Amino acid sequence: MANVVFDNVWKIYPDGTEAVKELDLEIEDGEFVILVGPSGCGKSTALRMVAGLEDISRGELRIGEKVVNDLTPKERDIAMVFQSYALYPHMSVRDNMGFALKLAKIDKDEINRRVEEAAEILDLTEFLDRKPKALSGGQRQRVAMGRAIVRNPQAFLMDEPLSNLDAKLRVQMRSEIAQLQQNLGVTTIYVTHDQVEAMTMGDRVAVLKKGVLQQAEAPQRLYDKPDNLFVAGFIGSPSMNLMEADLESNPGGNPILRVGEQTLEVPEEAMAEYPRVRDKVGGKVAAGIRPEHSFIPDASTPEGGTLRGDVRLVEALGSEVLVHVATQASPVVTEDMREAVDDEEAFARMEESGATGGMDMTFRFDPSFTPKVGDTLEVGVQRHRMHFFDLDDGQALR
């Protein structure tokens, strides 16, 4: 086992595509790091450079303090789990799992012992003599895992290993992989699209956008303190409500945000967290509020602490209700948001609603709260949990 260090690593494909730019990331020995980002942001490319399946254009990659830029995959001693599982179709499960060991000239008894041990852990013992095509999707996935763990490698690399499974199996395998990694303590880099996988599985989440690392932090910290607009918009599901708003001065108080006819006063805690907000008074900022940082206002809720709008949609999810409210706020429609939304159609809809001045915000409530579509709703905003970003460069106004 070993650490993995990206030291100013670049990947430029022969056609000129800069898939990974200036990547600096240090993954500690035994750490479980998740790479996330929108489609095409370079996650797979970064992973494949570690595996040795892609050349490194510039910079240095070290595994266990050894520079591996010019080493073949074989010499790097890493194991990879592919999205398609990539099981050898004509070999039995046993041979699939033992293939790498056989190539490493490990003796037969030892191979058998290790394969059977891994099969035991993964509940595959009864399938050892089957061919992959006679297995279910979940079992194939386990074989792919087994092929990695029998090797006891320097690091595990996984590229969206659960994306071909149905939702239920995915949940199950998610926790199994996380647990397995914890037990084995092997350094792991895990690429995913899935918000939940990103938030729940790893020690640290590294967010990429267009080949550039945006932020690498423990999941909760990333969620609570996004460094920029992109991370704020990308991390979280449903995503943060991000609006573009004028920041007005307020003699004798903190600045206030104008949202259509309404205002939101920026509280002291938020000012402390985002001191540069003060510099933006008289201009525009991007202000964000997570769906769950809302409440049902009562008599004690002060003026300037709520947003009003018509209920568009109510999604009752059992444990919670998501209420979509058509507010007067304008959405943030910068390039960062286009990337964060990662869906051209949805982004086009946002641009449209931005032009007509009004955006749907999503709020999360207790399931006992059941407003009706068409109701006008006053939603309390936990203003001290709000986030503020510069509209031009997207940086947090810290």
Partner 1 sequence: MRASSDRRRGNAPDQGDDATAAGTPSEPATAPVTPDGGAAGRRAILKRRIAQVAMHVLLVIGALVTLVPFLWIVIASTHPTSGIFSRPPNLLPGDFLLQNLANLQAMTGFARVVFNSVLIAGAFTVIGVVVCSMAGYGLAKHRFKGRGVVLATVLLTIMVPYHVLTVPLFQLMSEIGWINTYQAAILPFIANAFGIFLMRQSFLSFPDELIEAARVDGAGELRIFYRIVLPAVRPSLAALVIWLFIFQWNNFLWPLLVLTTQDMYTIPVALSSLIGLSRIDYGAIMTGTAIAVIPVMIVFLFFQRQFISGLLGGSVRG
Ligand X SMILES: Nc1ncnc2c1ncn2[C@@H]1O[C@H](COP(=O)(O)OP(=O)(O)OP(=O)(O)O)[C@@H](O)[C@H]1O
User: Is position 99 an interface residue for partner 1 (rule: CB under 8 A)?
Assistant: yes
- Strands 78-81 and 155-159, by their bridges, are parallel
What is the C-alpha to C-alpha distance for residues 326 and 180, in angstroms, rounded to an integer? Answer: 44
Asked whether the beta carbons of 73 and 49 are under 8 A apart, the reply is no
CA-to-CA dists, residue 137 to 84, 94, 259, angstroms: 10, 17, 49
Beta-ladder partners of 359: 327
The beta strands (E) that lie in 144-239 are given as 155-159, 187-191, 204-209, 212-217
User: Is position 13 an interface residue for ligand X (rule: CB under 6 A)?
Assistant: yes
What is the C-alpha to C-alpha distance for residues 36 and 398, in angstroms, rounded to an integer? Answer: 24
User: Is position 45 an interface residue for ligand X (rule: CB under 6 A)?
Assistant: yes
**Residue 114 touches which of partner 1, ligand X, Mg ion, none (CB < 5 to 8 A by kind)?**
none
- Strands 284-289 and 321-327, by their bridges, are unpaired
Q: CB under 6 A: which stretch of 40-48, 173-181, 236-244, 378-386 binds ligand X?
A: 40-48
Kindly report the CA angle at 108 between 102 and 111, in degrees rounded to 5? 65
User: Is position 362 an interface residue for ligand X (rule: CB under 6 A)?
Assistant: no
Binding-site size, ligand X (CB under 6 A): 13
Q: Which of residues 168-197 bind ligand X (CB under 6 A)?
A: 193
User: Is position 191 an interface residue for partner 1 (rule: CB under 8 A)?
Assistant: no
What is the C-alpha to C-alpha distance for residues 268 and 133, in angstroms, rounded to an integer? Answer: 61
User: Is position 16 an interface residue for partner 1 (rule: CB under 8 A)?
Assistant: no
**Residue 39 touches which of partner 1, ligand X, Mg ion, none (CB < 5 to 8 A by kind)?**
ligand X
User: Is position 96 an interface residue for ligand X (rule: CB under 6 A)?
Assistant: no
Query: Which residue number, 40 or 371, has a Cβ lying nearer to ligand X?
Result: 40
What is the C-alpha to C-alpha distance for residues 78 and 64, in angstroms, rounded to an integer? Answer: 11
Considering only the C-alpha atoms of the chain, give the largest distance between any 2 of them, rounded to a whole number of Å.
81
User: Is position 17 an interface residue for ligand X (rule: CB under 6 A)?
Assistant: yes
> Nearest-CB residue to Mg ion?
44
Q: Which of 26, 55, 66, 88 binds partner 1 (CB under 8 A)?
A: 88
Q: Which of 4, 9, 34, 42 binds ligand X (CB under 6 A)?
A: 42
Query: Which residue number, 49 or 289, has a Cβ lying nearer to Mg ion?
Result: 49
Binding site for partner 1 (CB under 8 A): 51-53, 72-74, 78-80, 82-90, 99-100, 103-104, 132-133, 140, 147
Query: Which residues of the shown chain bind ligand X in the complex (CB under 6 A)?
Result: 13, 15, 17, 19, 37, 39-45, 193
Give me the residues that bind Mg ion (CB under 5 A), please: 44
